[in-house]
Amino acid sequence: MINKQFGDCEGPLGFPMNSVAAKELDAALKAVSKEVSDLVSTNIEGNKAPGYCRLSKGTVTEFDEGERSDISFITTEVVDRDKEVVLSSGLDFGTFKKNPVVGYGHNYSNPPVGRAAWWRKVAGDSFAKTGWIAKTEYAKRPNDWVGPWMPDGIWSLVKDGFLPGKSIGMLVQEIKRPEPAEIEKRAELAHARFIITKAMMVEYSVVGVQANQMAVVQSVAKNKGLFTADFLAELGLQFPDLAKSIIDPPSLPSIKDCLTLADVPRLVEQKLKRINISAMIKEDFDALRGRV
């Protein structure tokens, strides 16, 4: 079943898209060269997608509480952990702009968490600050909505720093190996497998990066009314019992039932007063004399 919040048809890679964008992607997929398909592919819905690539970055630069938005790098020109470099000059957003909705974790069975308000290319003073930034606006809860609203949960975790990443999906159209002259100017390119010089931007999602799981759980617990059990599973929490307690927390002892260190001496004294030392000594002597 197509999730029409992402588009009016199922695209050629199996996820919902705007029909015009889907036609553009389909034509571009058919034009992917063997050189590209031999180097780049992604498994989507269990199917191999030659030439398609998903890359994650974890850099949110700015928040706006009133707008429920963040501005973040969605791609930079650093050599990433897959030893790839994307040249910002070669990334085309023409297809993406036809329906710039933003999901969570490239999972299209869930509703979108927001949309991209704008995106632009920036040239900073380093490769980590050169690339594309985008403003993501997180969807507001409708007045008549009943129950947890997933974008509220995502927005909460983004603000707390536990979902700082954005993952783009793009179709690679031109690719090359780093050349000696490029490596001479930029030594880290020696560790790059290849440089993506031209690509079609198709999608991006909010994603997490490796983080302290207990800290994530604490952040969820702070806003427990925003999350469903299914959403916690989406986050990949490794504490199922704790995650359940966040949804349905057990009753806690009242303050009057709790002890402090200052209470300990008083309670010890009360216990000692209840002990009859004389009776205990007499009982021990009687036992030794055989009077049990």
Lowest mean pLDDT among 90-94, 110-114, 123-127, 253-257: 253-257
Instruction: Determine the pLDDT at residue 123.
Output: 92
Instruction: Determine the pLDDT at residue 47.
Output: 81
282 and 193 within one domain: no
Residue 247 resides in a domain = no
Residue 72 resides in a domain = yes
Instruction: Determine the pLDDT at residue 256.
Output: 44
| pLDDT tens string 141-183 | 888 888 888 899 889 888 888 788 899 999 999 999 999 999 9
196 and 85 within one domain: yes
283 and 145 within one domain: no
Residue 43 resides in a domain = yes
Instruction: Determine the pLDDT at residue 215.
Output: 44
Greater model confidence, 122 or 57: 122
267 and 161 within one domain: no
160 and 48 within one domain: yes
For residue 133, give its domain range: 9-211
Instruction: Determine the pLDDT at residue 290.
Output: 59
Across the chain, mean pLDDT equals: 80
Residue 96 resides in a domain = yes
- How confident is the model over 180-190, as a mean pLDDT? 94
203 and 280 within one domain: no
How far is Cα 287 from Cα 270, in angstroms, rounded to an integer? 28
Residue 236 resides in a domain = no
Strands 194-207 and 84-86: parallel
Instruction: Determine the pLDDT at residue 81.
Output: 82
Instruction: Determine the pLDDT at residue 149.
Output: 86
189 and 267 within one domain: no
Residue 255: pLDDT above 60?
Answer: no
Q: Of all residues in the chain, what percent carry a pLDDT higher than 70?
A: 70
135 and 64 within one domain: yes
| pLDDT tens string 100-135 | 999 998 988 888 999 999 999 999 889 988 999 999
- How confident is the model over 18-22, as a mean pLDDT? 94
Domain count along the chain: 2
Residue 226 resides in a domain = no
How far is Cα 107 from Cα 233, in angstroms, rounded to an integer? 13
pTM value is 0.72
Instruction: Determine the pLDDT at residue 212.
Output: 42
